[in-house]
Structure 1
Amino acid sequence: MDKTQPAVFERAMEQVRRTQVRAEIELTEAPAPQRLAPHAAALTAEVLIGEDEAAGGRLVLLFDPEGQDAWEGQWRVVIFARATLEPEMASDPVLCDVGWSWLEEAIATHEVTVAAYGGTVTRTQSQPYGAMSGREESGELEVRASWTPTDGQIDDHVRVWLQLLETMAGLEPAVAGVTALPR
């Protein structure tokens, strides 16, 4: 694969690198997969409440100048988001629907347009037994999704993922111009 990045990909990455994040979020560039597209970038994020990781995830941005039929375009955003839950919440039968609605709400909030949009939501609930019976029950929610940006504003698609992580972590929505007090 050609490692020279096209100008359109470089401009998109400049937008991504300028994305403002909340104080609770640690956003880092990460190694990107090499075989999914000629050009790729990846980010990881952790949402910290105090010293505890409340949510985390990964975003992969793929670009193929020739496009890919399954993508219905040249770009592809692939996200993974996970959060630890209270055991009672993890057992809620509508939790997966709620998790997907959080992603749809973030897409609507940032007014991005997408094609070939899909994904999965998984909830797990762990009950320890035997030698592990002293541990607490736990739960986790994972959202995996991908879509093709059709609006050219790649940084807004990163903001969609970040908003999903914030929601999964239980953070209140950020209000422009208002400083949040630490928890």
Structure 2
Amino acid sequence: MVARHETHPETGAGPAEFRAAVASMRSAAVRSEVFCEEMPAPQRIAPYSSALSADVTVDDVDLGTGRLILLHDPAGNDAWNGTFRCVAYARAEIDPELISDPMLAAVGWSWLSEALDAHGAAYAEMSGTVTSVSTESFGGMSDEEGTAQIEVRASWTPIAKDEDQPLDVGPHVEAWAELLCTSAGLPPVPEGVTAIPSRRGQRGS
């Protein structure tokens, strides 16, 4: 399996450090099962923001969905302990039998931290929640199979590896995409397989 990269139109909004961070978001490479594109970002949380949405699809079946928002406040934010903040959301279908596993939430949370570490994404002040829900049908709908989902909501402060260089958000995007794939039950990309960019609009190909 290989990774792919979605290209996005230039917005040109915000200070130079924010534009550089957004450009690095667009340079991230994600797996071919992940269809990622820009979405409208919330306007009231921070002075500047940019957002991505993604769906994990295999054989035309949607297995997971998520979004990643990059916030920037040039004046800094005490709660963030920095000027940038990543806010992530990931939801995926899981085997209903996993719902009863008492370690499911802790494992789900570890998927994010392990993905960030694996992609070399430096971060601090990480917090969030993991929620798992199951649905069973009764009465006239009793013939429908039960379903289960896991949902991860998290935020963290991305840190530049070099204070003299712009913040590189690409590894954070790639870690979020990996979280989506792991949550959806996709096996890891084999070691040695290089992530390559793909063109937008190949979702149905």
Structure 1 stretches lacking a partner, 5+ long:
none
* 2:184 counterpart of 1:166: no
Question: What residue in structure 1 maps to residue 164 of structure 2?
Answer: none
Q: Any conservation in 2 of the 1:30–1:43 contact (CA below 8 Å)? A: yes
Question: What residue in structure 1 maps to residue 80 of structure 2?
Answer: 71
Question: What residue in structure 2 maps to residue 40 of structure 1?
Answer: 49
SS of the residue aligned with 1:105?
Answer: helix
Question: What residue in structure 2 maps to residue 60 of structure 1?
Answer: 69
Note closer, same or farther for the CA distance 1:10–1:29 as it changes in structure 2 (3 Å cut). same
Alpha-carbon distance in structure 2 between the residues aligned to 1:19 and 1:159: 6
Provide the identity percentage. 45
Runs of 4+ that moved beyond 4 A = none
* 2:44 counterpart of 1:28: no
Aligned with residue 120 of structure 1, among 129, 138, 142: 129
Q: How many residues align?
A: 177
Shift of 1:16: 1.1
Alpha-carbon distance in structure 2 between the residues aligned to 1:4 and 1:16: 14
Measured against aligned partners, the alpha-carbon deviations of 1:107-138 in whole angstroms (never above 9, x if no partner) come to 21012221211100000011112232221111
Note closer, same or farther for the CA distance 1:107–1:87 as it changes in structure 2 (3 Å cut). same
Q: Any conservation in 1 of the 2:123–2:156 contact (CA below 8 Å)? A: yes
> 2:63 is matched by which residue type in structure 1?
A
Question: What residue in structure 2 maps to residue 106 of structure 1?
Answer: 115
Q: Any conservation in 2 of the 1:124–1:141 contact (CA below 8 Å)? A: yes
Alpha-carbon distance in structure 2 between the residues aligned to 1:63 and 1:73: 9
Question: What residue in structure 1 maps to residue 193 of structure 2?
Answer: 177
Shift of 1:58: 0.6
Q: Any conservation in 1 of the 2:93–2:148 contact (CA below 8 Å)? A: yes
Alpha-carbon distance in structure 1 between the residues aligned to 2:40 and 2:76: 22
Q: Any conservation in 1 of the 2:94–2:185 contact (CA below 8 Å)? A: no
> 1:177 is matched by which residue type in structure 2?
V
* 2:167 counterpart of 1:156: no
Shift of 1:177: 3.3
* TM-score of the two chains, using structure 2 as the length reference: 0.82
Give me the CA root mean square deviation: 1.6
Higher relative contact order (CA 8 A, sep 6+): 2
Shift of 1:172: 2.0
* TM-score of the two chains, using structure 1 as the length reference: 0.91
Alpha-carbon distance in structure 2 between the residues aligned to 1:43 and 1:120: 20
